[in-house]
């Protein structure tokens, strides 16, 4: 009987270890299906209200597959007496555990902090980040569209505080994976 109890204890311990190991593995990619089009390091050029600019960013899965992190760096030359400028930002994309919605938190060197709702189009070629509407603040929409493997269109739009649905392009460009 002692031998039988030891075998049961061993099997139980092994089962618990297997369950523990499965819990520590990265989340299944099902929640992030379609996001592979954004993965990698990117470079590009575009235009903004500051003029023509260039930059680069990375978009990578992190935290054992629980989130994606984007780090962005953009440079704009001085024009019309304005000095050259640099913009950097960080965005963390995650799945809300309470409801399964994809959300993002964004912050930048200009002092912006934006909470986004995120959607992936049915054809998995467009990812849209729509900023939460906040009274008295502009609303932002950031859209990535897959043009071809390794090429994306990027558009940032802003709607004024008094017209949250009336978006105007403020930055647009194309990027290529490096």
Mean pLDDT (10-residue bins), the chain, 178 residues = 42 37 45 92 78 88 96 87 91 94 97 96 96 94 96 96 93 92
**CATH architecture of the domain formed by 28-177:** Beta Barrel (2.40)
Q: What is the pLDDT at residue 25?
A: 39
pLDDT at 30: 74
Reading phi first (left if > 0) and then psi (alpha if -120 to 50, else beta), residue 135 is in beta
Backbone angles phi, psi at 96, to 5 degrees: -70, 125
Q: Supply the pLDDT for residue 80.
A: 79
Side-chain half-sphere CA neighbours of 48 within 13 A: 21
Predicted local confidence at residue 51, as pLDDT: 66
pLDDT of residue 26: 41
In the chain, domain spans: 28-177
DSSP label at residue 23 = H
Q: Residue 13 corresponds to which tokens in the numbers above?
A: 């311990």
């Amino acid at each position: 009987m002692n031998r039988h109890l030891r075998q049961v204890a061993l099997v139980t311990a092994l089962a618990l270890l297997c369950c523990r190991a499965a819990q520590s593995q990265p989340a299944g990619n099902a929640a992030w299906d379609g996001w592979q089009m954004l993965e990698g390091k990117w470079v590009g050029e575009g235009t903004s209200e500051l003029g023509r600019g260039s930059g680069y960013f990375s978009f990578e899965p992190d935290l054992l597959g629980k989130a994606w992190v984007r780090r962005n760096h953009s440079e704009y030359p001085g024009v019309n007496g304005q000095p050259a400028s640099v913009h950097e930002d960080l965005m963390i994309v995650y799945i809300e555990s309470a409801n399964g919605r994809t959300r993002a938190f964004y912050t930048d060197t200009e002092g912006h902090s934006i909470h986004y709702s995120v959607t992936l189009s049915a054809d998995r070629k467009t990812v849209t980040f729509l900023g939460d509407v906040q009274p008295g603040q502009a609303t932002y929409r950031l859209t990535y569209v897959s043009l071809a493997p390794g090429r994306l269109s990027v558009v940032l739009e802003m709607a004024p505080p008094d017209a949250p649905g009336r978006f105007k392009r403020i930055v647009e460009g194309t990027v290529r994976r490096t």
